[in-house]
A and B are shown apart, each in its own frame.
Chain A
Amino acid sequence: NAGVTQTPKFRVLKTGQSMTLLCAQDMNHEYMYWYRQDPGMGLRLIHYSVGEGTTAKGEVPDGYNVSRLKKQNFLLGLESAAPSQTSVYFCASSYLYEQFFGPGTRLTVL
């Protein structure tokens, strides 16, 4: 079992560029989450999904879109990247309340 994997591990974007972060889990979990982590801010929930085909807004959803077309995948999109979106992005999945986190994606927007 790979658990939760994230692609890519690192990325540098220019302001205005778009990109998609991929999260995949092989644990057959219903629930999936996208967080961002900034120094001194802890983790903040961007969007989450309670099942295939469903998504919901978290604490800081602006500037991001998500899709959950397949149960095992949860995609996070940035349509027009801004420097304020420079952060480490973590994906997580859960069966019930215990969240399993991926290794993270470090994104820098110049």
Chain B
Amino acid sequence: GQQVMQIPQYQHVQEGEDFTTYCNSSTTLSNIQWYKQRPGGHPVFLIQLVKSGEVKKQKRLTFQFGEAKKNSSLHITATQTTDVGTYFCAFAFSGTYKYIFGTGTRLKVLA
């Protein structure tokens, strides 16, 4: 079935370094969402992208949706210890509320 692959699975960075996680699909997506889950916590919605080539920024976070709507990325500039957690992408089948989540990228920030 339709699914998304997230890479990398894990990433350790020094505080202040940049971080990027990628979400790839073999088929065209109607939308892509990003969530953050802190260790021991629950997922928290970050953003949704729906347009081809869309780029959105939230402070140090930059989200992109590919031109072909088959991939997306989340880039964090100058990571901080508060960025620690697992980042998930997710999409809903067109016209439905049936969501599929990626396997996530676990980010560890070393102070």
What is the interface of chain A, defined by CB distance below 8 A to chain B? 31, 33, 35, 40-45, 48, 50, 56, 58-59, 90, 92, 94, 97-104
Contact = CB atoms under 8 A, between A and B. Distances in A.
Interface in B64-94: 88, 90, 92
B97 A59 contact: no
Given A97-B48, A97-B92, A103 B42 contact: yes
Given A90-B43, A101-B42, A45 B99 contact: yes
Interface string B1-30: 100001001000000000000000000000
Contacts of A103: 41-42
Nearest to A40: B103
A101 B43 contact: yes
Interface residues of B, number: 23
Nearest to B50: A97
Contacts, number: 55
Mostly helix, strand, loop or mixed at chain B's interface?
A: strand
Given A90-B42, A98-B48, A45 B103 contact: no
B102 A42 contact: yes
A106 B29 CA distance: 32
Contacts of A104: 42
Contacts of B43: 43, 90, 92, 99, 101
